[in-house]
Structure 1
């Protein structure tokens, strides 16, 4: 029996027990997990150093190394994310609808756990904890398959979390990690019909497309983030600069960072030279359209391939447009329905942008970096869905439940 099947069987059995737990029992387990992460931070950091050293030897870029890196402060933040989940309402057992039929049948629609959730993700070990916390709070078991770049970190984190669960009534078997770095383990997960109830990919476009194309189990599709910020001609220049810099530079390695800056031609003539200089000073490589090169000086000319690329790095496309219509058309063509922003002091244009842009999160005068479960008040997130079925945007606890109809009768039969 393969590692994947063996751990899926353990997780599936544990999911039955998970569905019966009370909110207090699950919260006690989350608190134990958070305490253990802080207590064992030195051993986690040591394991993470192994991953970082291996990543440097393999030539991983600085932004991806940043996504991989853990230190005491980051581990504290991850633990605090678990504590925040404790304070969130338990979605299991919520009565979503209730009605009585003319024949006397009483029907209740209630939320229930999904069961065993498979999560396939890349080099962000914090996802290991976020996923475990959210799945357990929502009454699910979870089968994790992280990227090989973070294997040492993930193994140690799961060891710490399972040891903490062993001190509670939550079964440690509800948390499973695939340790094989063979890509065949991913393929096997995607075909675990009857064991996995749903699989969620978190990572770049190639990973997500692979999962969607090959899975026979249901998939909740999280999306790559080719995100845009559009600076309208009425934009406040100080607000525009602050938002653009934050959206690109605050953490370029994540999916809600900006990849293309769109500017109205009138705004660009006045302010693009200063904006471009600010980005260059911050170490951002600019790729621009001919008009932006003319206004802001030398930069590599952007291609359609560039506009469609999620860099996750200190690289930014710059394009000047003649109108809001042209900005909207660019976003429709190259966006990934993740997060888009307009900076404007014109209310009608802002409202039009908010209504017409088809994305999971659309912003007026705020950075796209806020598309995040923590920032939206969901605590940690399982991912950001760009599909339109079941869940969209940052997926918190409610997105990890399904529904069940409970029907109460008094002997009714159908004629």
Structure 2
């Protein structure tokens, strides 16, 4: 039978009622004649709650009754703390996988749950931000042959040293895509509260529209710049391994969602299509680091340590100064990381108060039309303090974080 991999995010399994709905959805897929592998995230805010426990246990009581907070896992801690953090955070997905397996059993369908290590997810030894280096899905294949649904804990694996590792925020998407590739699945379906990929964040852009399809190249730009529907590394992996992704709503049975095409657009469609933007995304907070090129190596080593797991948006050099832009979303304590990095590059070289709005579309950065259009619409909207950075498939606007919602809506007007 054909294999379908389904991934359900934390909001989809936030409580027992939602877990039961997911179980019914999984059983329905099984009854349509497919083998099913399900990847689950931790329930609701479980990961955040576990992370807060880790912060709390690092509090140092002071004689005056106050508590000095020691950041986790950056300031005043060691690699050992990162290991223990992985041991702690991996618990959340294990709860979800066991409960979902039980719920599927209650509907008369056989199921079995596996941790990341039991599923054959092998990673490097970078705790908190591990990368998958190999998938050995032999136990999954054995259970599928026995007619069982297999539930896998997302976000985690085991290193070649046999240590539990986690993949960073959004890592469950990566688990699902890697398993889909290893198992030769016919589809990898990513379920969340949102019915696919939209032209803008529907919470901010009221007239945002759902896209029926989008190229992996365009989706990768959106994911890296704030669109939380799909994890950027998962999209990149799917593109490299030619895996089609489908982003759909958990709660809408008629959800059409959005197909992410790994092979991009056919040449005949590109030849006939106008060069236009398809969507816009925003990061309300980025980290900008100015580094003297002579000090680049030690500065980057410090960045790798204190901002481990954070996405690098760009690294540009002009003269004797390089500018690094980071997405700090995965950083447990941005201010503690900023303080540590300031000791290397100086406080003047750091800016954590900026945001980024990115307009995305195939080849829009290869014409003068769209950068000029972005500048005109921002100026007309009353924004003047911004910088434009143009890439092949995107136009990035760097501006004060508080201006991001307005800039997002202004840029969305450029999408036909």
TM-score normalized by the length of structure 2: 0.29
Structure with the bigger percentage of helix? 1
- Determine which structure has the larger strand proportion and give its number: 2
Pair member with larger Rg: 1
| TM-score, length of structure 1 as denominator length | 0.29
